[in-house]
Amino acid sequence: MSLVEKILSKKLGREVYEGESIDVKVDLAMTHDGSTPLAYKALKEMADSVFDNEKIVIIFDHNIPANTVKAAEMQKLALEFVNRYNIKNFHKGGEGICHQILAEKYVLPNMFVAGGDSHTCTHGAFGAFATGFGATDMAYIYATGETWIKVPKTIKVNIVGKNEKISGKDIILRVCKELGKRNIYKAIEFHGVEKLDMDDRLTMCNMAIEMGAKTGIMQADEETYRYLKEERGLSEETINKLKKERITVDKDEEYYKEVEIDITDLEEQIALPHSPDNVKPVSEVEGIEINQVFIGSCTNARLKDLRIAAEILKGKKVHKDVKLIVIPASKNIYLQALKEGIIEIFLKAGAMICPPGCGPCLGAHQGVLAEGEVCLSTSNRNFKGRMGHPNSYIYLCSPKVAAISAVKGYISNQL
């Protein structure tokens, strides 16, 4: 059985296989300031209560602080939902991006995680089944604690080789190029990631949706348990319990599709406008002038990402024609970056630092692009109009390439 089949089988107490439609109980449900009001409106037509006010997480991250009257009204409505149902896990803004907060505080292996945001698949990095739902589906989940899904077919992606010059972002961009974006309702199961830390794993699973997949997922292993113990502070007793319940895939599993990505000689990768699968080595597009660099988003704004960028920017200045925007993924990351002097390095280099949240990733505020502007971004999407004007251009890359290019004034992976 695939990893997804095994996780879902364990939840249902019987074997389930690809293509089967099942009803499943949800362990954790999340919506943000953009999706909560829509779910709330639908919920009021379905029920007078929520299934469990301790299993619901509400996070303000998309438009914080509110930048328009509409955004303020949406947050007001979301707050009404929180108060009406006494939601225990409420993060009112400035605490971080929803997917980072879930990673730092809530998600565990083998969970079924439902989120009112397409990048909920990020949490497959923990060995959980995590996927996004629309507002009406989230309303039903909030009312009943259940949902139905079709068990997805699984694509196995095996990462082979070793390459310390690249990051998880380079690897996943290469995978996007290989698989394209037509893997509708598939699970992408990553193998050969033992050498990668949780930051890189979260980045990779985050972008499964960019390939059209239902989720991205990895087996929980020693790195997973290290993160849960050292970064999340879980007790030894809890870690041992999780290890006993660990789910692994069968070695003889026959997958819907299998691909192998050899990273041994892989150069830093970059996605060109206007699709995450329009990927080339950075050297093939070196020299393209840029107007803005964004280091942030639920894909690449974790502490490791900021450290890499700061190491490059230390003692240097952002190019005079480039705006550099840096947004840490969470308050915890922001605080640690302050302690390490990373934020000071960014500020001295000429960067603008915004409060933890989504920022310009969705084209709402804090760095919207004008017509004809070119942005080099560590985020996950670059379709037309994603970050502002429909006639602007977005390139996707790692924090390393972003920082180097910010200094150069054009796309480059060489200082």
CA-closest candidate to residue 277, choices 326, 337, 212: 212
Domain 270-408 has CATH 3.30.499.10: yes
The model's pTM is 0.96
Domain ranges of the chain: 3-260, 270-408
Q: Do domains 3-260 and 270-408 have the same CATH topology?
A: yes
DSSP string, 18-71: TT-EEEEE-SEEEEETTTHHHHHHHHTTT-SS-S-TTSEEEE--SSSS--SHHH
CB atoms within 10 A of CB 254: 9
CATH number of 3-260: 3.30.499.10
Contacts of 121 (CB under 8 A, 6+ apart): 130, 131, 132, 205, 206, 208, 209, 213, 214, 215, 216
* Among 146, 127, 130, residue whose Cα is nearest residue 138: 146
Residues 279 and 177: beta-carbon distance below 8 Å = yes
**Residue 316 DSSP code:** -
Instruction: Look at residue 111 and give its three-state secondary structure.
Output: coil
User: pLDDT tens string for the chain (415 positions)?
Assistant: 999 999 999 999 999 999 999 999 999 999 999 999 999 999 999 999 999 999 999 999 999 999 999 999 999 999 999 999 999 999 998 999 999 999 999 999 999 999 999 999 999 999 999 999 999 999 999 999 999 999 999 999 999 999 999 999 999 999 999 999 999 999 999 999 999 999 999 999 999 999 999 999 999 999 999 999 999 999 999 999 999 999 998 888 899 999 999 999 999 999 999 999 999 999 999 999 999 999 999 999 999 999 999 999 999 999 999 999 999 999 999 999 999 999 999 999 999 999 999 999 999 889 999 999 999 999 999 999 999 999 999 999 999 999 999 999 999 999 9
Supply 248's token pair: 């692994």
The SS3 call for residue 86 is coil
In DSSP terms, 129 is beta-bridged to 112
User: From the CB of residue 149, how many other CB atoms can be counted at a distance below 10 Å?
Assistant: 21
Nearest to 376 by CA among 352, 401, 351, 359: 401
